[in-house]
Amino acid sequence: MFHLNDMLFAITADQGGWELFKNSLLPMIKGGIKYTIPLTLISFVAGLILALLTAIMRLSKSSIVRTPAIVYVSAIRGTPLLVQLFIVFYGLPSLNITIDPFPSAIIAFSLNVGAYASEIIRASIISISKGQWEAAYTIGMTQNTALRRIILPQATRVSIPPLSNTFISLVKDTSLASLILVTELFRRAQEIAAVTYDFMLIYIEAAILYWIICFLLSIVQQAIEKRLERYTAT
């Protein structure tokens, strides 16, 4: 008999079908609540902060400010997320920098989100007409004030749909954290499948849970977009 460390019951190899489905549901849900959802939220918020900073740096007229942002975005977009995870968790210890699995995942996912979201934010800022800048300048606003009070609020409305898609994709990408020992939803599925050998049922169950989470998030996304349409000029 095999006991997962935070299970309220045991899952055994002789279970199958509906019994296995029911017994494996709780530990996977707990893995999602304890690790998948917090990992997604923390990484996305940190990634957005980094993305905003990067987007503003890329829009700078100074090459000294702009170049590091360009290199960062190019490096992250040009390498696989899995490789980035492995560099943070397995690579940094060779430099005497050891980080636990969960913080390692947050760092890697935040850097990844920051690069991709920065391009979304940058494109949203560029999409705002120059007339908005000129109008702000005519009433005495500085460039920073115009950006903060006039441009960014409008750019936010434009960027919500693609950023929402990035958030939903991040939920699915967190499954890669299982490879650096984060016991999130998919890691729980792997542990259960290793005991029961019923890989098809367990992995389908995990897929269904990811699907449900993403479906609920898509409903929230549609509600936000519908609400923002009220402020769109016609």
The confidence score (pLDDT) of residue 71 equals: 96
pLDDT digit string (tens) for 112-134? 999 999 999 999 988 888 888 88
pLDDT digit string (tens) for 1-38? 344 454 434 555 445 566 777 777 888 888 888 899 99
User: Which residues on neighbouring strands pair with residue 212, listed in sequence order?
Assistant: none
For residues 142-165, average pLDDT:
85
**Maximum Cα–Cα distance for the chain, whole Å?**
76
The confidence score (pLDDT) of residue 212 equals: 93
Looking up tokens 């000029």 gives 233
Contact 56, 83 (CB under 8 A): no
Q: Which architecture does CATH list for 17-231?
A: Orthogonal Bundle (1.10)
pLDDT digit string (tens) for 55-102? 999 988 899 999 999 999 999 999 999 999 999 999 999 999 999 999
Q: What is the CA radius of gyration of the chain?
A: 22
Q: Residue ranges per domain, the chain?
A: 17-231
Q: What are phi and psi of 99, to 5 degrees?
A: -125, 140
